[in-house]
């Protein structure tokens, strides 16, 4: 059984609210519902949403009430106190520990291959098909990569992980760039090592679209323990790309990069929402989605 794991514990500080439940469709559909629709069409049979406990009521109202009866749906809770046995959270810490911990939070619910995605990102149907096909025929890890130019916002800078691959499209490393801005000729990474770096826009980037196996949970626990013992402080986070990078460097696994032809979009900033609404409307007009998604 293929499971869709949805990372939805964040509040969206730059967006200014709980963007995961902000309607973008003509019948108050949220962006996540279009992801679920695409995942169902690609053969995924179950959803696990990773949320904070204080978000459960909102998620049940905006997601569970629409999806129950259509696909099995469970919640996993990302909590500050959920750490490996023998570890203790920093007493000065007020937030959970990042995407690595979020995926680890599903360990009791997910027993087979799964796809982990962000709740507030649109990845397109072909991306789900690519990962579904991979997970059904391989016991290895994979990710869908996206063309950088198709992932930028005109309303502010974005953080992106640029992918380096070998000749067989196995991931070698993900280089994090924390401030990428669009330009007329591509993009520029303002905070790249060594100063501003011009980018063509054709670079393949990671958008947190990971095809994983249950073996990842043991890796996550081991690396989470190492991370906590490194004294990460009040803001340090365990990111899933860093976990996979260590697996690759230490020779315990490989990640196949599957380049998606889709255009990504999301609601990083409030001004992004009109564009997202328009993109959804265009896809409905083209027949990709019904006007009323769950009619």
pLDDT at 19: 55
Structure token pair of residue 222: 């081991």
Adjacent-strand bridge partners of 266? 121
State pLDDT tens for residues 122-158: 999 999 999 999 999 999 999 999 999 999 888 888 8
pLDDT at 12: 43
pLDDT at 271: 82
pLDDT at 155: 81
Residue 200 near residue 253 (C-beta atoms within 8 A): no
Query: What's 54's DSSP letter?
Result: G
Select from 142, 149, 146 the least CA-distant residue to 168: 142
CA distance 209 to 257: 10
Select from 242, 207, 211 the least CA-distant residue to 224: 242
Classify residue 101 as exposed, middle or buried by CB count within 10 Å of its CB (0-12, 13-18, 19+).
buried
pLDDT at 13: 43
3-state secondary structure of 263: coil
pLDDT at 135: 97
Adjacent-strand bridge partners of 47? 4, 73
Classify residue 251 as exposed, middle or buried by CB count within 10 Å of its CB (0-12, 13-18, 19+).
exposed
CA distance 95 to 243: 19
The alpha-helical segments, DSSP class H, found in 20-122 are 31-41, 56-59, 65-67, 99-104
Select from 162, 187, 195, 155 the least CA-distant residue to 177: 162
**195: phi > 0 → left, psi -120 to 50 → alpha, else beta; which?**
left
Low-confidence ranges of the chain (pLDDT < 70): 11-21
CA distance 51 to 7: 7
Which homologous superfamily does the CATH classification assign to the domain defined by 3-146+207-239+263-285? Spore Coat Polysaccharide Biosynthesis Protein SpsA; Chain A (3.90.550.10)
Residue 100 near residue 220 (C-beta atoms within 8 A): yes
Select from 52, 99, 104, 57 the least CA-distant residue to 77: 52
């Amino acid at each position: 059984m293929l499971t869709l794991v949805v990372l939805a514990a964040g509040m969206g500080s730059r967006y200014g609210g709980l963007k995961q439940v902000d309607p973008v469709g003509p019948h108050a559909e949220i962006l996540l519902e279009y992801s679920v629709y695409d995942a169902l069409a690609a053969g995924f049979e179950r959803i696990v949403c990773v949320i904070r406990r204080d978000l459960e009521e909102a998620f049940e109202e905006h997601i569970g009430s629409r999806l129950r009866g259509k696909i099995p749906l469970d919640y996993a809770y990302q909590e500050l106190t959920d750490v490996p046995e023998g570890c203790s959270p920093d007493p000065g810490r007020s937030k959970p520990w990042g995407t690595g911990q979020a995926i680890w939070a599903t360990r009791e619910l997910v027993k087979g291959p799964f796809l982990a995605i962000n709740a507030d990102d649109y990845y397109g149907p072909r991306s789900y098909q690519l990962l579904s096909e991979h997970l059904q025929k391989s016991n290895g890890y994979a990710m869908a990569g996206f063309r950088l130019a198709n992932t930028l916002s005109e309303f502010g800078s974005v953080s992106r992980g640029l992918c380096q691959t070998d000749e067989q499209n196995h991931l070698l490393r993900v280089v994090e760039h924390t401030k990428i801005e669009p330009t007329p000729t591509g993009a520029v990474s303002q905070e790249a090592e060594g100063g501003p770096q011009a980018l063509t826009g054709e670079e393949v980037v990671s958008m947190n679209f990971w095809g994983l196996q249950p073996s990842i949970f043991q890796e996550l626990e081991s690396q989470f323990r190492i991370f906590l013992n490194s004294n990460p402080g009040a803001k340090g986070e365990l990111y899933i790309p860093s976990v996979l990078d260590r697996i690759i460097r230490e020779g315990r696994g490989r990640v196949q990069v599957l380049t998606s032809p889709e255009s990504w979009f999301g609601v990083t900033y409030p001004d992004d929402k009109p564009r997202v609404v328009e993109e959804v409307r265009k896809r409905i007009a083209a027949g990709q989605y019904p006007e009323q998604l769950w009619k």
